[in-house]
Amino acid sequence: MREKSREAAFCGVLAALAETVLLLGGVIPAATFCCPLLAMFLLLPVRSEFGPRAAVSAVGAVALLAVLLVPDRELAAVYCFFGWYPLLRPRLERLRPLPLRVGAKLLYCNAAIFMLYGLLLFLFRLETVSAEFAAASRPLTALLLVLGNAVFLIADRALGKLELLWQTRLRRRFFPGGN
């Protein structure tokens, strides 16, 4: 019983912190893409400590609350599409050789980008997103897609480093004496 209480408290606090970061992203206009990444990073310890089931619950709760509470719809949608990546990442890391692994990660990234903006532009018809795309030329849009892929790969590498940091240094501060 005590272990379940610890799990619920830990997951709840990190989910609330991730949601707070997303809400701050709605206040700071330039944070549309940064805050979902930070929120995603904050939930890494949940999967590490309590497994994929708890992580799915935490990410799902944050995504649902983001859709309901975050004023910036684009930011909430970015989290809804990319917040799940840390749960998929361990499976992708097992792929060999390296080019196949990187290709699978980029496939996920591009599929998420096209679905995300397809929904925002054609289904939800967000005027701000439509105006941004109308103002941008095709080469600029292509450049943004390439840069988005580069940032995704950098974020993927950061996820790996943060997982290692959690396991080697930070974990013992929250769970002294083991889990």
pLDDT tens per residue, range 53-84? 999 999 999 999 999 999 988 899 999 999 99
CATH of 2-174, one of 1.20.1070, 1.10.760, 1.10.1760, 3.40.1360: 1.10.1760
Q: Which two tokens stand for residue 42?
A: 């904050």
- Return the pLDDT at 136: 85
Question: 45-69: string of b/e by CB count within 10 Å (b at 16+)?
Answer: bbbebbeeebbebbbebbbebbeee
The one-letter amino acid code at 12 reads G
Q: Is the pLDDT of residue 179 over 70?
A: no
How far is residue 76's CA from residue 96's CA, in Å, rounded to a whole number? 33
- Return the pLDDT at 15: 97
- Return the pLDDT at 79: 96
- Return the pLDDT at 78: 95
Q: Check if the beta carbon of residue 150 is closer than 8 Å to that of residue 109.
A: no
Q: Is the pLDDT of residue 178 over 70?
A: no
- Return the pLDDT at 124: 84
pLDDT tens digits along 10-46:
999 999 999 999 999 988 877 888 999 999 999 999 9
pLDDT tens digits along 126-141:
888 888 888 888 899 9
